[in-house]
Structure 1
């Protein structure tokens, strides 16, 4: 099971008053039910600096399915013990918003009248701001491969060659050896070339790159049959050696070569040298990306809401007065919308959400609507944020009567038509459907869901009430992919949750019931990151923009100076955001006959091109199969992510004239490739120095250590293929 990603949060300030001796920050991250789980830290004291960059960071796990709120308070004091501290103000933001903004958000300091007295000594021409930076901890990313290759190993079998494999150990907190990873068994060879092992540094060294790793090479005896199950107590030891992750990180692209020493043979033989050589090297897997790489790189999660307004129990038809009362109350529909969209709206650039109702009948004319805009405006069916969707839902009962049938396929195909135009890593679509019963167009719905599985779409279905949800269980595909005739879904992109499972007793001890929105959001959004990664990996899509703050070379991870700059602000901070208008975003949602007519009438209608100025840290990354003439302006869609537009200084704008350089991403990395990505070598802004950021500051050693005694490094011999 893949470990949960971890992030590091850093704080810096701009234009603080310098009258007092120093300043420091106290910041916390709250999440969970009632935000009771908190991670709090206090930075070091920065002496008399107007724009301090605090070194102390907060390291914590990232929860996509929870709302994590960052609160940073800025203090100033005169004494070292901080007893005379004065609060200057605070800022507050969410982890999701900072990550979706490219890893950095700058906000003005919020202060009351009492606190503003201390800010009057600052520069009046500039506001006092706080910069919150978030980076993904590279020690927990599985984008590093361990490659091992043996040369001239000892022969252990009487009738054949050895069957070698390598096991790596490190000592835990108790001082006992703990297995980190193991290679596969390669039979009947003395020159094994093991497959690369994807691994994260935390699993390999526990976050301490100076801890010793024990490499032990065994000969598999096959004592348990033909399977590759190994038993180190029964298998013969070929040889062993020790090294550190720090030494491996500082090695060149050829890695390091070690002598395998067999202690019993060394004690018995006077002129014993070694039992073979093992070459070990670490390198970046350039095609391996994490979920946060896509969010940092500009992927926007676009939410479309569909509300089932039908009533399957015709005898229990509600009066209009009762409908209005139900809409005004905090019913199950409102709780479900609030629980899910409160999380997902942080990952949408403009927070404009299409919201539709279906299975309803208009009060004027009595026409059944399979897709009615909850906003009431057929020309603009976007709602601003979660609050706008809730308000539009509550107003819909003034013009709608509950009726059947219930058809899912129109709204699913509607989203599919939009996703077909944006099959890149910049946009991913989530269709949230709230239903209270079965589906009447069952076959068409299954076909629409199968088609959506090949597109960047995930479907979340929340069952409201106590109806029959057997059809929804089939759509969930937990027990098999959906299939209709010869058509079959390529992946599971549907998540179904029944609302009634999240009723809880009130916390005050009364008999009242309440909804657990935190538990509902966890259940509903638990599979969304894996569904997104499944689509991106199947489609071979890289992040749309270069992920900021990532190490370019493996040796950066062993450099304390590089780690010190981990959460420093970028040289060109983001100061603005380009929001897409509802009219532009709406154009991509028109489907059906109207869409076909528009395409026939305007076949050569050019796509709108937005001028873009890119900072070095956010240089656009083309798709793997992109044409060399593929221009950046042609890739911009209606939903422009805020990291696509950077507000740079006037000098930077002047230096960045000309079309952006287009490169191709290397589809795969062999064991002999270097650790640098060819597309990241060029700097389109040569006069602007790139600032590298990322990582804990506990790596203090800068010099490589020599291997002790018999485990000395030797020059690498050419492999058989090289000979």
Structure 2
């Protein structure tokens, strides 16, 4: 299936008031649906917007980018975010991407419905556009000069600014929001780092609108002034003071915005890092808790079918591992289990699977085939137990990733966790993930089986950066969660879709880490010299044979 990349933004109007003493605090949850062969649509969460406090008309700045296939269903829900009680549903809307991309202006307005399908209060507006290929980033430093005070004689305004771009339908779409500076009419905002693709979709002359707002606790922010420009105008306007205008066009001075600094720099690509010798290593962690079911029973998630049919753990290892192994030169992968007992010993929450069947051996398996063989061998010695705890596995992966990744020696780790249930150490896991965000590490979690994985969305930073128990925020999002049940690998191409969706966020996570450390791609390595012809005839290598005798022929296909 060929695909184009599209982006879309979500906004709402007229949402119901879900809180007693104030308006709602809405955020949007976006789910992508696939129709299975039985005609049922299975939905998977792909991200969340930021939460906007105390408003009935939120305009979310979160950008969603996804592959556009001919007729996938996009399912969007709006929730009221409440710090005391569970989230209250404000309504939902569903639509097909085909309808969105073929609508005039690529914009649709959908009436919200409640959980029973009846009309709810408010509408949702979805605006889309095809994504232009652009790896540039913009750094922009702005300051306000003598902004008009909106807080009367007893205080000063609390300004922040937003950036909106003009859409194809001649409407403005907000794409960026700065921090708020309290009680200051000449604020100097922190330098803003923005994707040029998100800012103007790669068009440097595309009209942009900068608006300065006075932040109010009740969410009813007051516009202090606005101006129109473009990315090219900002680049050429360094040091220039630009007059702000008020929407009502009154003649009183509204202050100025000054461009202290504006620059565009090209962001290196993952391919450039790989060409320069970047090594990506994978660590695999497998859930051996009792909720998987007895391995001797055909309904168990760990059942090893004598016919060669792969269980979900084996399918996920093969689909994801055989892609990652190509980016590691030695193809040696640590493999751990958690939540199991080895030969009747106390429960271990991180044990090397390879040593279960080969005492005193290495913790690493050679290639994906080696991971699968170690997993199968361990099933004869590991008793399923519990509970499901991630912390020890995370700390082990963090210790491996903690080796220096320098300009000369560029390394990055991916931890693949395969689990069947809800984790029992959520806060400790979040604490570890916040600490891990400073390391060259990404964490991919694949949920196997039919358990309720809704809590896993807390670990994925799509709705905002994770915050640990000490209120320290993660420096970047490093987690991607995918439920295996979304994919029927009996259908052609679904194994590739599983791998693609599971690893979709790794390139950006990797690039953000190296950018934060000012590590740039090394020069491309020279091609390896051509092998010399043998001096004497040799027997041909058997099909699928590799160094060390390991075989990398794919396992038997999954069938139902």
Question: Which range, TM-score by smaller chain?
Answer: 0.3 to 0.5
Greater strand share, structure number: 2
Higher relative contact order (CA 8 A, sep 6+): 1
Greater helix share, structure number: 1
Structure with the greater alpha carbon radius of gyration: 1
